[in-house]
Amino acid sequence: MASAPENEKNASAPEKKTLTLKSMINNEEFVVDEHVALQSVTIKNMVDSDCAGDVIPVPTISGEILALVIEYCKNHANPSASEDDLKKADAGIVAKDIYTLIDLVLAANFLDIKGLLEVTSQKIADSIKDLPHQDVREIFGVENDYTPEEEAAVRAEHDWAFEGFP
Amino acid sequence: MPHFPEEILEQIFSYITHCRDRNALSLVSKTWYDLDRRTRHSVFIGNCYALAPERSIKRFPNWVVGLARDCPDLRELRLKRMLVSDPTLLLISGSFPNFRSLALIGCHGFSADGLSAITAKCRFLEHLDLQESEAGNDSGQWLSSFPESFTSLISLNFGSLRGAVNLDDLMSLVARCPNLKNLRVNKAVPLLTLPQILLRAPQLVELGIEPRAHHVDPGSHTRLYEAIRKCKSIQSLSLSGALHIALSCQFHISAIFPKLISLDIISVMEGRILGFINLLTHCHKLQRLRV
């Protein structure tokens, strides 16, 4: 039988690489395992192209939101988590008020985390669908660009032509 | 918030499926109106004449041409009391790869050839509802155009069509659609054949028949009710004036009617009122009755 290779491979676990994410809104810093942070396509691209220093600055995302994002990434980086566990954990993460959800969906979009974008969008859809459209305007900071006549016309279409179908 | 990325809004809109919710959100702003238009899966136009033509063209330009261009993911279309032409049906059949449901309610202007385009090309069709509609040049070719590999039908209503039907093709279609829950056939399907059809669809929940003859031998009534009784899930029966048939099979109907939630008789002839009332005493679960 052939003998064992001369050069002993480094069998000890490789040192876990970490990244530091820093919210540029309130300068809060989060030390995260690299494989957790890499669920963000944006961060992955930075790391892959060697653009990432020791500290990765994250503009426009507050520490509070960043913590939620990291919680999501940690859950989904855990290989032993079952689909059911993840569903429950996701539901917990998005059980927030509408303004937090909007910050979260913007963060998910900026960091390019598809799953988080989806669950947050779903939750937002559920939260706004029963609200009066004036409230929705306020929540999304949308300016009403309808003239009163135009708005009445759209409303009339709904009343008479497009109504009554589930 | 100065700018909310449109791709996120699109994502959010994709989770809003109810037309009423979408209508409400399209009042938020013109951008939102536009988003709704681009991402709608279903459009129901209940009364086209309530809509100024220029509005309808703006919103869903040129009917289906506009829908095809602006709503490629459309899955469901319900048109009521409209003129629908064969080219329109042809366009529908070729424009929406995920098309699932077509309802033409009280519509006219199309022929069985237009319907054939739908049945031949909409591979995922689940619902085809032609209630109160008429098709020209109908020799049942539309029904025979469902491909052999087609199995997705959930409901089929052609009770108001006047054309013939190839009964073998109907039986084969029913047999290969395991999810068929609602079937409403026209006068061309004879009472004698119905038991054979029902035998192939024991999962049926709603059945509508249009009996042609008023004097068929009682044996075929009995066989029909025996076949209905074997459809364990049956909840809704529409007899279109065929109360006499029901009344002549008291034994079997007492096995069926207690399960019914909906009963549609259309007309009760004088002299049958008592029998009818007696029949209703069997309907313990009835929630909806049309006479």
CATH code of the domain containing B177: 3.80.10.10
The enclosing H or E element of B57 equals helix B53-59
Q: What percent of chain A has pLDDT over 90?
A: 57
Q: Are residues B141 and B216 in the same domain?
A: no
Instruction: Decide: B243 and B218 in contact? Cβ < 8 Å.
Output: no
> Residue A103: its pLDDT value, please?
94
Q: Do B23 and A158 touch (CB under 8 A)?
A: yes
Beta-carbon contacts below 8 Å between A and B:
106
Asked if residue A71 has pLDDT above 60, the reply is yes
Asked if residue A128 has pLDDT above 70, the reply is yes
- Which range (A123-137, A148-162, B45-59) has the least confidence? B45-59
Q: Are residues B59 and B145 in the same domain?
A: yes
- Number of compact structural domains in chain A: 2
Q: Which residues of A touch B44 (CB under 8 A)?
A: 162-165
Q: How far is CA B263 from the centre of its chain?
A: 17
> Residue B53: its pLDDT value, please?
44
A104: Cα within 13 Å, side-chain hemisphere: 28
Of B156, B187, B218, the position where a domain reaches its end is B187
Residue B36 burial (C-beta neighbours within 10 Å; 0-12, 13-18, 19+): buried
Asked if residue A82 has pLDDT above 60, the reply is yes
Asked, for residue A4, whether it belongs to a domain, the answer is no
Disruptive mutation site among A145, A162, A163 for chain B (greatest number of B CBs within 10 Å)? A162
Q: Do B51 and A126 touch (CB under 8 A)?
A: no
Q: The CATH number of the domain where A24 resides is what?
A: 3.30.710.10
Q: Which residues of A touch B57 (CB under 8 A)?
A: none
Of B187, B202, B223, the position where a domain reaches its end is B187
Residues of chain B with pLDDT under 50: 50, 52-54, 56-58, 60-61
Asked, for residue A75, whether it belongs to a domain, the answer is yes
Q: Are residues A96 and A139 in the same domain?
A: no
Asked if residue A52 has pLDDT above 50, the reply is yes
Length of chain A equals 166
CA distances from B20 to A8, A159, B17, B131, B237 (A): 69, 10, 9, 24, 30
pTM: 0.60
Q: Write out pLDDT tens, residues B63-116.
A: 566 677 777 788 888 888 777 888 888 888 988 888 999 999 888 889 999 999
Across B244-276, b (16+ Cβ under 10 Å) vs e yields bbbbbbeebbeebbebbebbbbeebeeebeebe
> Can you give the residue range of the structural domain that contains A152?
131-166
The set of residues, in sequence order, having a beta carbon less than 8 Å from that of B234 and lying 6+ positions away, is B204, B205, B206, B207, B228, B256, B259, B260
Backbone angles phi, psi at B159, to 5 degrees: -60, -25
> Residue B281: its pLDDT value, please?
76
3-state secondary structure B78-92: EEECCECCHHHHHHH
User: What is the average per-residue pLDDT within A147-166?
Assistant: 71
> Residue A165: its pLDDT value, please?
43
Q: Write out pLDDT tens, residues A85-123.
A: 999 999 999 999 999 999 999 999 999 999 999 999 999
Q: Are residues A151 and A108 in the same domain?
A: no
Of B169, B187, B205, the position where a domain reaches its end is B187
Q: Is the dihedral of CA B8, B10, B15, B19 positive or negative?
A: positive
Asked if residue A33 has pLDDT above 90, the reply is yes
Residue of A nearest to B47 (CA): A161
Nearest CB neighbour to A121, from listed B8, B47, B59: B8
> Residue B39: its pLDDT value, please?
75
> Residue B54: its pLDDT value, please?
47
> Can you give the residue range of the structural domain that contains B180?
41-187
Instruction: Decide: B268 and B276 in contact? Cβ < 8 Å.
Output: yes
- Number of compact structural domains in chain B: 3
> Residue B79: its pLDDT value, please?
83
Do the bridges between strand B101-105 and strand B110-111 make them parallel or antiparallel, or are there none, so unpaired?
Answer: unpaired
Long-range contact list for B67-71, CB < 8 A, 24+ apart?
B67/B43, B67/B95, B68/B92, B68/B95, B68/B96, B70/B37, B70/B38, B71/B37, B71/B38, B71/B39, B71/B40, B71/B41, B71/B43, B71/B96
Q: Are residues B135 and B244 in the same domain?
A: no
> Residue B242: its pLDDT value, please?
62
> Residue A40 carries which DSSP code?
S
Instruction: Decide: B224 and B195 in contact? Cβ < 8 Å.
Output: yes
